[in-house]
Structure 1
Amino acid sequence: MAKKQLQTAIIHSDYQAPDGFGAFPVAIHHASTVLFKNVAAMRARNWQEKNSYTYGLHGTPTSFTLEARLAEIEGGQHCLLAPSGLAAITMVDLALLKSGDDVLLPDNVYNPNRDLGNWLARDFGITARYYDPLVGAGIVDLIQPNTRLIWTEAPGSVSMEMPDIPAICRAAHAKGVLVAIDNTWSAGLALRAFDLGVDIVMHALTKYQSGGSDILMGAVITRDAALNQRLQTAHMRLGFGVGMDDAYLVLRSLPTMKMRFEAHDAAARKIAAWLKQRPEISRVLHPAFADCPGHDIWKRDFTGAAGLFSVVFNDRYSEEQTDRFVDSLQLFKIGYSWGGANSLCVPYRIQSMRSNWQDKGILVRFNIGLEDPQDLIADIEQAFAVM
């Protein structure tokens, strides 16, 4: 071939880096267009098979590596990445539900999942019904001939009830119904959801897998190949993709996730135990505490706890006062999500979120970060003083 002009040479360089480079980090492979050696290779590849590459939306070595590691942590076989935890939930619903179908969701479900269920019911002809998160085996009485999917959340991310996942799975499977779990709280570390009978595990990787409060990403993990193919088809049709820089950041955080999770757990239990002694607090909602609904189930099924828990203030305190408490915190910042190094605090109008909530006090949720617990206790104490 004749010598290339400069502009062409800039684009089509002859240089190739030598083989044999080794390092701990996973390489970041960016791509929209994926190249094929010839037409036969292009036509032979299947975007649903992860033994080759077809287009950047379907993955590069970076995202394939992250999917494989997440599936391994959870004890699954197949993993799909989504742009957020909510996108992962949406993918499950749209893969498995159609007009005329029915989905059951716990009454303490992650609020955007509730909004999604209501949207499906209003605009797509899919019935969305809400059940008591502590119903256990009694869910069999709620399953209808058109029920296709049951969502679970362990625990509820605001009111912290712990469901009996094995009992729900046995009842669902006896009726041919699939069970999905939002397993974000345990990060796949403290709960082996597939071993309890769950069909689909969903994670918001935004939380502990990232650990930096800087990534939005979700994952859906399965063991069954046919079920994964249904999910994968929805994933493609929705056009869900993730940035490889974000995938790399999650990969970089995974080696420290278990140690961070355990540190969050230890600090949260210490602070929750201190709060139980305070006269301002009427209830501490932490599954590791004996008086939290579903504690016996947590003790049976879990090997640890996250840094997220809630408290209910004594009902003598008004919303204005509890808002003042939250505003007065200095180390705790006001913001949604959890799993990062920084502690967070958010008040909730829980009575408007739940069907049969009995407590009259204001519910406040704490995410315990990686600060020293004594400093966090001192911060809460000074906010009590000005409440």
Structure 2
Amino acid sequence: MKIDLTETTASKINKALVEGRRAIGTPAVGMVLTLVIVTDEENAYDAMRAASDASREHPSRTLVVIKRTRSPRDRAAARLDAEIQVGADAGTGETVVLRLYGEVSNHAQSVVLPLLLPDAPVVVWWPVNGPTDPSKDPLGALAQRRVTDVYAAEDPIRELTEHGANYAPGDTDLSWTRVTPWRSMLAAALDQLPCKVASVQVEGEGENPSCELLGMWLADRLQVPVERTVSKGPGLTSVRMETDCGPIALSRGDGQLATLSMEGQPDRAVALQRRETPELLAEELRRLDPDDTYEAALKFGVDKLGAGSGSGQAAADSAPAREAEKSGSESAPARKKAAPAKKAASK
């Protein structure tokens, strides 16, 4: 069921939500959180679709905030339009698309606040163009969890560094979520062999924040040098750990199936497919407490970037990475506007 409201208010939207639930025969609210999506018109459809898929695991009220200033007239006329979706049109929750015009767009938090579910957690997600300091953003200040995606930024490594400098408990990024299966697999491999790791090599696309974060995490946890090298991708392609028991390597060349190689054991094929945004978002919504592992890896990497050593971009500037970047065949594929998502399994 869809309800369109033009030049409306938050109280009218709340009233329309109640009437919509009654019309479809579900007057009770069975949602566990409020998901606020801050995006533009171009990326709104993909973000709403991802949220709808994720709502099958996490029933939620989804508020989509779109700021519109297409012409001088839009900037002059303050207006709020809303599109309400309940029932099958909104997955297992309900969706409100808020289009803010004129001066109203500068006070989005005042529009969103009356529409939040009472006594329920709030998560804010920026699929593209996220703030470098999410906790200081007016909408981010309303949330327990703030989800960004620096992979969609023009300069992801610079954005990642700024996120580390401005980190607040509750911040996370989908670039971190994407390496969860890699972290789980590498931790399990090290648990099988009582070996000491001497060094690590992380290989993947140039300027890929997930590769940088995985290198930061390994350097922080293992306290060993991490070398960052560049490949054609897609995404993260391999991690090789040199140990006193022999090398441990996890390689994925096609973005789907990986091979785990360990000294004295046969090679094993493991499923390590690149995940889509709904799956990543659903993983992020499973835990709403601060991610201490992400914080430690991010701050470790930022400290090393400032010192000019360790993992992260400093490691990416190593000789092998520079040589790879000079080669035309090693250029990274074009980055998508909005990418998939999720969080981390601690060692």
TM-score bracket for this pair, using the shorter chain length: under 0.3
Q: What TM-score do you get using the length of structure 2 for normalisation?
A: 0.25
Return the index of the structure with the highest Cα Rg: 1
Q: What TM-score do you get using the length of structure 1 for normalisation?
A: 0.23
Larger strand percent: 2
